[in-house]
Amino acid sequence: MIKDYGYNVQKLYLEMMLADAEVFVRCQGIFDHTLFDRKLQDAAEFINEYAKGYNVLPDFEMVNASCRLDLVKPTELKEGHMTWLMDEFENFTRHKALERAIVASTDLLEKKNYGEVEALIKEAVQIGLARDMGTDYFADPRSRLMGLKDKNGQVSTGWPGMDRKLFGGFNRGELNIFAGGSGAGKSLFLANLGVNFALAGLNVVYLTLELSEALVSMRIDSMVTGVSTREIFKNLDDIEMKVKMIGKKSGMLQVKYMPSGKTVNDIRAYMKEYEIKCGKKVDVLLVDYMDLLMPIGKKISAENLFVKDKYVSEELRNLAMEKQCVFVTAAQLNRGAVEEVEFDHSHISGGLSKIQTADNVIGIFTSRAMRERGRYQLQLMKTRSSSGVGMKIDLEFNIETLKISDLPEDEQESNGATQRGTSSIIDSIKRKTEVQREEPTEGESVGKVRANVESSKLRAILNNMGNDEDE
């Protein structure tokens, strides 16, 4: 159905706006007199310029006398009429602007100026009025706070220790990043979170840009069923029964491979298709991982990580806010962070651009010895929803089933809520890496010798830490 935006309809828009100054002010941001019928353009321009110059609307007599029109003040206008006007005027403005953009695009297409065509169309399509006037802070504090709790937050990670540090868990509409070195377990953490969320009844989409759907799914099989990854194919009947039974009580968990180099628009399109075909809203989106995405419509050098990551992280956060879902991804730590026991923004590839955009950034610290002992450690590098920056969280890791879980309560307490346990690890490393000053060989500095000794000692300690602490 083609909407009629003829002379009489446009005349009614002007009449209703003149009758209600508040409505005119709300429409003024998209008011363009050149979009009106030629017979009304002078009147539309007169009204707009008069309002800008005097901060009041002209009366009907003034407009009619100046523009030789017969505008009539509507009678018995109600709130619903003004809502209708704003909807109609928004559609009218977008429609006319799009018509103009299409006409202007003809010449641009002949010149192959595709970027300008895209910009014109995009600008026209995005025309809209601000309907949300914000929060009346003093009006209803209880409803405001309960609304925040229900809409945005308190989505548990499935790890009570982390939930406590984050004041309840991850919030909808926020960007959460797990940062770790190569092989640190970024994919394992995302997969475990996917399982936790799905078992809690949420609809989860796991987008893998690196590993295959089959491999990710097999890992999840172990996490869900408790069967070792080495024993999966020996227990296919058991796996099938357990997965199907658990699935009946859980939300959806969709694993989708997406090649690296894709953009946030590709993710947006997939989410839309998912919602149409599955008939469900995506509650949680996991992207493994953000460093493999490219910005939308921008040619960025692969070496320019700061600029690339700035655009990608901003686009991801915008998508999280748009979809109001829990959004978790991962990022790479640089090589210099591998032997560190404390992380900061300098250790993240791309650095500040990711930190500045994200709502929560969580560093993954591990070593081979820690994994063999069944431990992972997280560090809150940034958090907007709590005061936990710098805090550490110790987690239990089952090397057979790949399941990551909270430490038992008694161990949490003995570790001083994770902080004293962390200190003992750090102190152990510091204590055992203290070496005596050695004499340098000819042509070699003292500092270089010491650095080599300390580095080799550190690696040895990390590899044998489990055995040392058990003694």
Q: How far is CA 76 from CA 16, 26, 70, in A?
A: 11, 20, 19
| pLDDT confidence tier of residue 411, bands split at 50, 70 and 90 | low
Integer angstrom CA distances of residue 354 from 223, 326, 340, 346, 387: 30, 17, 20, 11, 19
Give me the mean pLDDT over the 386-401 stretch. Answer: 84
Residue with more model confidence, 378 or 307: 378
Average pLDDT over residues 103-123: 84
413 band by pLDDT with thresholds 50, 70 and 90: very low
The model's confidence at residue 145, banded by pLDDT at 50, 70 and 90, is: confident
Mean pLDDT computed over 379-392 = 80
Query: Is residue 222 predicted with pLDDT exceeding 90?
Result: yes
User: Peptide bond before 114: cis, by omega within 30 degrees of 0?
Assistant: no
Confidence of residue 21 (pLDDT cuts 50, 70, 90): confident
What's the confidence (pLDDT) of residue 304? Answer: 66
Residue with the bigger pLDDT between 347 and 156: it is 156
Winning range, highest mean pLDDT, from 292-296, 340-344, 434-438: 292-296
| Higher per-residue confidence, 17 vs 181 | 17
Of 225, 227, 222, 186, the residue nearest 206 (C-alpha): 186
Most confident of 4-13, 143-152, 305-314: 4-13
**Which pLDDT score, from 0 to 100, does residue 203 have?**
93
The band of 112, judged by pLDDT with boundaries at 50, 70 and 90, is: confident
Sign of CA dihedral 461, 467, 470, 471: negative
383 against 453, higher pLDDT: 383
Distance CA 154, CA 168 (A): 5
Residue 434 pLDDT level (bands cut at 50, 70, 90): very low
* pLDDT at 353 (0 to 100): 65
Q: Report DSSP state, residue 284.
A: E
Q: Please, what is the average pLDDT of the chain?
A: 79
Looking at residue 335, what is its pLDDT?
54
pLDDT score recorded for residue 467: 45
- Give residue 332's pLDDT band: very low, low, confident or very high (50, 70, 90): confident
Give yes or no for residue 261 having a pLDDT over 90. Answer: no
Q: What is the mean pLDDT of residues 318-324?
A: 89
Least confident among 215-219, 307-311, 423-427: 423-427
pLDDT at 448 over 50: no
The answer to whether the beta carbons of residues 108 and 117 sit under 8 Å apart is yes
pLDDT for the residue numbered 367: 77
378 contacts 392 by C-beta, under 8 angstroms? yes
Calculate mean pLDDT across residues 241-245.
92
Name the token pair of 247. Answer: 């699935």
* Position with higher pLDDT, 416 vs 408: 408
Instruction: Give the pLDDT confidence score for residue 15 in this predicted structure.
Output: 92
Which of 75-79, 88-92, 373-377, 407-411 has the lowest average pLDDT? 407-411
Query: What integer is the mean pLDDT of 254-267?
Result: 88
Whether residue 206 is predicted with pLDDT greater than 90 in this model: the reply is yes
DSSP structure string for 80-149 = HHHHHHHHHHHHHHHHHHHHHHHHHHHHHHHTT-HHHHHHHHHHHHT----------TTT-HHHHHHHHH
- pLDDT grade, residue 294 (50/70/90)? confident
How deeply is 450 buried, as exposed, middle or buried, from its count of CB atoms within 10 A (0-12, 13-18, 19+)?
A: middle
- When pLDDT is averaged across residues 414-426 and rounded to a whole number, the result is 43
Between 174 and 335, the higher pLDDT residue: 174
The predicted pLDDT at position 439 comes to 45
Q: Is the pLDDT of residue 410 over 70?
A: no
Dihedral angle of Cα 387, 391, 394, 399, to the nearest 10 degrees = 100
Taking residues 213-233, what's their average pLDDT? 91
Q: 31-82, pLDDT tens digit by residue?
A: 999 999 999 999 999 999 999 899 899 999 999 999 999 999 987 777 678 8
Percentage of the residues of the chain whose pLDDT score is greater than 90: 27
Interatomic CA distance for residues 239 and 318, integer angstroms: 38
Q: Identify which has the larger pLDDT, 384 or 413.
A: 384
